[in-house]
Structure 1
């Protein structure tokens, strides 16, 4: 990875893309320390430190939520809006036709997603300002509340724009990189917490060693699964066009074990935070907020609350893995293209039998990838319940960090390979 980055730095346009991405992430981190006007930050920190699920949300915002900065809502409303739009694209025929129109259709859907993001951000900002952190408002007059709501909403809208700019002009997926930067920025804080627990004697060195060993295993496993592919052999028949003979060569279709990357984990996390968003309107001491904290919280005192949260998380991760794989890989289209070019899978007839075979193989390896994602996401939570360690940097965070790093490096390598081809053609 280091050698790839070193080689990429030598290419002028790639270097400018890397610098641009880095500067956008610096802007993101700068905005994460600018407080929202009219809020008592100490009160907010006290609430976030007591509520487990809020602390989990604070991790993915890079500490912006706990410090009530302009980026406190993070990019979560955009992710939720993306989930809603993708589900509606399947349910509503007009949106499905729009998605098939190509670039123009995708631009329209992206525009609808932006509108939905602003609406969701407004709802969440109102819930935080009026409900959960209502007592943190220095002044409760309508003007002060409006300023807080609009500031939080504008922060999310700016992050959405920032992510799109990184995707368009930088390296990697902008939204994923913003989440990546937020999680990585909390690593020093997590190390400080672990050191404090060791000094206080609340954490044993053996438990720390076990957790670190498990983290290394998780990282290695994520890399192995992300890189794992099932190669489907494809043979192309010989055909004569004029005086030339084409085809006759062998190739393969690489089916990735984890076709969807870390998207299912991010989607599941966003969906599970939705009840928490609703509870913001009722306040921290309300019955609904207490119910969410008890039964939908990975750090709940009630063991059954942890079990329910873990099961829901696993089911959602598996569902979104299949859902996103179905969107990104179309066996019917692959089969049709193979048939047009005289390709076939040895032992399988072209057409529908090929489509059925690809579906069968894809379903099997997707199940393996989905179960793996769910297991890795939940394993550290189980370990923390057993060892008593209380650190935020768990399996979900590790999955996202390693997955985003791998995907970004692949994009860098693809950009370098494309430029090598261009140089060869010149």
Structure 2
């Protein structure tokens, strides 16, 4: 059944074309990862990154697919675009114009996309300047300068190169979304993370050959990894469905309504945004300690380094906070209740309007707490394994959340194309449980 489903991928000309376009554009992205930015000593930079594990540099390097440690033209990765999108999303709460764009359908989305592009370029210029200035003062552990010839010539070249690289990645992502299959930006992050997994596997093999990891521990870790992936798939697709009834209405000679539907509330509405924010904040003292010799900063960095009890407590606290915060930004119970009331819908036993809004908010708060605890458990797992057993990062955490979530979304879209073309999906015709995306 599964083999036939994969054969069906290439029976639909449109789906085959979309898959080939997606793979081709991702290949272009991976080629660009290896094109260096002028003016940097690559060997010295690699030595610096080898000593900068557990800082913001290692996290940004993961999201850039290894481009930052090579300081390629794609060194900034897609993070400026993600940051601009998040900032714009948060600003809709305080800026009425942006809140209105959210209600204007396709025209509003196009305008927001345009603002996001402008924000991406602006953030890229700022980050490019900051990185170029920071690199000029950095040296490798051996004392070799990372930038042999510092100055404004190097800074301008770096700003232009990195900004152009991020803009090109943004364009690639939009082309994948429009012409390919899946969400382009998510797939670019997915490709960057997956491309680094062979090195993680090589590190595991090295630990086994040197005797630092036994075969029994490896088996336990593989079983644990499979269990974590299964838990992520289950939780990312989990929903709390609130039943909604629609009253019958007579318009002219036609009768509308009289139907029963449901309001799906996701367990993890915030996605991977909370752990990204939490990691950025908690790694900030460690990153500052790399550039300062202040005893206070060194003490704080040691206190909040991975493996300490304070790190775990603060990390989990930030994740829970951002889960609630970002969910509140993304989902407004008052708007949902108002739209439901306008369309003649109601929740059985709950009055339309304010009572409905309060009920939805209460249910959303409860399931968000469960989702926040689930995200915290998945993200704390890799740091615990790294500190106790010195195992690779990819057995959990933000990277695994992104990889599994993007895979679910992409398979969901492929499934929809197969079913619309009257072909069996990945679960077959008889499978009533279709693979659902996260959106």
Q: TM-score, normalised by structure 1?
A: 0.85
Q: Give the equivalent residue in structure 2 for 1:27.
A: 28
Are the aligned partners of 2:225 and 2:395 in contact in 1 as well (CA < 8 Å)? no
1:118-267 paired onto structure 2 within 5 Å: 118-132=121-135, 134=137, 135-240=145-250, 245-267=255-277
- Alignment of structure 1 residues 326-365 onto 2, 5 Å: 326-365=328-367
Matched, 1:16 2:17: yes
| 1:73 counterpart SS class | coil
Taking a change above 3 Å as real, the CA distance of residues 267 and 242 of structure 1, as seen in their structure-2 partners, is same
Relative to structure 1, the CA distance from residue 71 to residue 265 in structure 2 (aligned partners, 3 Å threshold; closer, same or farther) is same
Other-structure match for 1:65: 68
Contact conserved, 1:264 with 1:324, CA < 8 A, in 2? yes
Q: Is the 8 A contact 2:394 2:400 kept in 1?
A: no
Which residue in the other structure is 1:110 paired with?
A: 113
> Structure 1 residues 83 and 20 mapped into 2: Cα distance closer, same or farther (>3 Å)?
same
Question: Which of 383, 398, 401 is the aligned partner of 1:399?
Answer: 401
> How far has the Cα of 1:275 moved from its partner?
6.8
- The Cα of 1:268 is off from its aligned counterpart by 4.3
Q: Is the contact made by 1:83 and 1:267 (CA closer than 8 Å) also made in structure 2?
A: no
Mapped partners of 1:111, 1:204: distance in 2: 53
Shift of residue 46, structure 1, vs aligned partner:
0.3
Check 1:241–1:137 CA distance in 2 against 1; reply closer, same or farther (3 A cut). Answer: closer
Task: Work out whether 1:97 is the aligned partner of 2:100.
Answer: yes
**Residue 366 in structure 1 maps to residue 376 in structure 2:** no
The correspondence of residues 379-398 of structure 1 with structure 2, limited to 5 A, is: 379-391=381-393, 394-398=396-400
Query: Aligned-pair distance for 1:402?
Result: 0.5
Separation of aligned partners in 2, 1:293 and 1:399: 31
Gaps of 5+ in 1: 422-426
Moved more, 360-369 or 132-141: 132-141
Greater displacement, 213-222 / 325-334: 325-334
Map of 1:424 onto structure 2 = none
Q: Which residue of 2 aligns with 1:286?
A: 292
Contact kept in structure 1, 2:66 and 2:196, CA below 8 Å? yes
Tell me how far apart the structure 1 counterparts of residues 416 and 346 of structure 2 sit (CA, whole Å). Answer: 28
Quote the Cα distance in structure 1 between the aligned partners of 2:279 and 2:411: 24
In 1, distance between residues paired with 2:344 and 2:175? 41
* 1:100 Cα deviation from its structure 2 partner: 3.6
Match in the other structure for 1:36: 37
Q: CA deviation at 1:23?
A: 1.1
C-alpha contact (below 8 Å) 2:382/2:395 kept by paired residues:
no
CA deviation string 1:138-179 (max 9, x = no partner):
322432332233212221221122112222222222111111
Equivalent residue, structure 2, for 1:295: 301
Contact kept? 1:384, 1:390, Cα under 8 Å? yes
Counterpart residue number, 1:412: 414
Partner-residue secondary structure (3-state), 2:58 = helix
Q: Can you list the C-alpha shifts for 1:359-416, whole angstroms capped at 9, x where unaligned?
A: 2112211221122112211122112212233545542211111111112222233344
Q: In structure 2, the residue corresponding to 1:255 is in which secondary structure?
A: strand
Q: Deviations over 1:171-227 (max 9, x none)?
A: 222111111100100111111111111112223333333322221111010011111
Moved more, 238-247 or 355-364: 238-247
Stretch of structure 1 that moved more, 179-188 or 130-139: 130-139
Q: Give secondary structure in 2 for the equivalent of 1:251.
A: strand
Contact between 2:45 and 2:146, CA under 8 Å: does it hold in 1?
yes
Q: Per-residue CA shift, 1:103-151, capped at 9, x if unaligned?
A: 3333333323222222322232233322235421232243233223321
1:349 alignment partner, SS class: coil
C-alpha separation in 2, matches of 1:401 and 1:217: 15
Q: Of Structure 1 and Structure 2, which has the larger fraction of its residues in helix?
A: 1
Range 67-76 or range 322-331, more displaced: 322-331
Rate the CA distance shift 1:393–1:140 in 2: closer, same or farther, 3 A.
farther
